[in-house]
Amino acid sequence: MISFEAAHKIIMDSARSFGQETIPLSRGIGRVLNEDWYTDRDLPPYDRVTMDGIAINYAGALGRDKLKVEGIVAAGDPQATLDDPGTCFEIMTGAVCPNGADTIVRYEDLSIEDGYATIHIDLQKNKNIHWKGEDIKKNKLVVASGTQLSPAEIGIGASIGKSEIVVYRQPRTIIISTGDELVEIDETPAPHQIRRGNVYRMQATLNHLGLRVDTDHLHDQKEEIVLKLQQYLDVYDLIILSGGVSKGKYDYLPAALKECGVRQHFHRVAQRPGKPLWFGTRDQGATVFALPGNPVSSFMCLQVYVLDWLSRCSGNRDNQHPVARLNGDILFKPDLTYFHEVQLNYSEEGEILATPQKGRGSGDLTNLTKADAFIRLPRGKDHFRKGEYYPLYIYR
């Protein structure tokens, strides 16, 4: 066995770019940008009115009981001109502030009768106007390459005319379950069978990051496994296998992968859960993660290793994880890195609190629904006390 730290470093050092692709902006959520975005005009692009009311000239309105209303300006109208500083326009939110006007008075602070507006508050110059270029000027960097896109960046992209965007290409990916005990989720399993839950759990995780993921299933027959793996290795950049990597007589994957020309970097990590984790690469070809079959083990290894690897492939060099304060003691005597399921909330001071959620081992998939994250507890001690801080791998 190798340590968690050594295994994680090997995986991170193997990360590589899969090039770039151009996609519609509407499909950009979760993807990592591979171009810099610059503003094509000032933002906002004009002096934008932020309240419904009247547009006035501050100096011209001072000392006047009433202001004649010259008309109404709506959002989308061309810019109007206030020729007489002693008059005003009714104006709507989002409209261009008229030439000659420099202040907006809300409807709530005035009354209009017989075509004249009476203001009921003390005037404040420049009120309720979002000035042209106040946010950012034309030709300025607004979103940098390497940014993972959220709805905030999608909105910016739309504002600067990015109907199509350049992003890091995601690896062509397949997730493969193994084992004669598995049946499809729409089948009724026999007493000795279970459904293929691992594949759907992992596929959903990667779909959420924008990956398009194929799936398949292999039976416990070495010839079939070798034949199918040879085909997959020529098509996919990332192959994730679930099950078949322990020491059982039908755990054929390590030998089959070697026969297919995949170089093993390690097999077995000093951790719980997920000890049988296998990792390898094929020269100029696919990266292969062979994860344990137990549901908590496979899910943890995906969250901790595969997601960090994908992030590094997309240009993220940090792979930083938030830390949380333990909200209860944990006893764990084996000399292993321990990934414990925890439920998250916040202290009054805003710290993340991690409350241990004790399950019944790596086969207890129901315990995942009671938790929000894995907390990583290091080797070298067996008593982790309430109040101590450790890294999190958040999945909810």
Kind of pairing between the strands at 182-183 and 194-195: parallel
Length of the chain: 396
* Residue 319 pLDDT level (bands cut at 50, 70, 90): confident
- Ordered by where they begin, the domains of the chain are 4-18+170-313 (3.40.980.10), 24-39+136-168 (3.90.105.10), 48-130 (2.170.190.11), 323-394 (2.40.340.10)
- For 148-194, the DSSP string reads BP-HHHHHHHHHTT-SEEEEEPPPPEEEEEE-TTEE-TTS---TT-E
pLDDT for 242 beyond 70? yes
Q: In this structure, which amino acid lies at residue 111?
A: S
Q: What is the pLDDT of residue 363?
A: 63
Tens digits of residue pLDDT in 345-379: 999 999 999 999 987 767 676 788 899 999 999 99
User: Within 13 A of 46's CA, how many CA atoms are on the CB side?
Assistant: 16
**Is pLDDT above 70 for 31?**
yes
Report pLDDT for 350.
Answer: 92
Indicate the residue type of 377: L
* Banded model confidence at residue 198, pLDDT cuts 50, 70, 90: confident
Over residues 85-110, mean pLDDT: 97
pTM over 0.85: no
SS3 content of the chain, % helix, strand, coil (to 5): 20, 30, 45
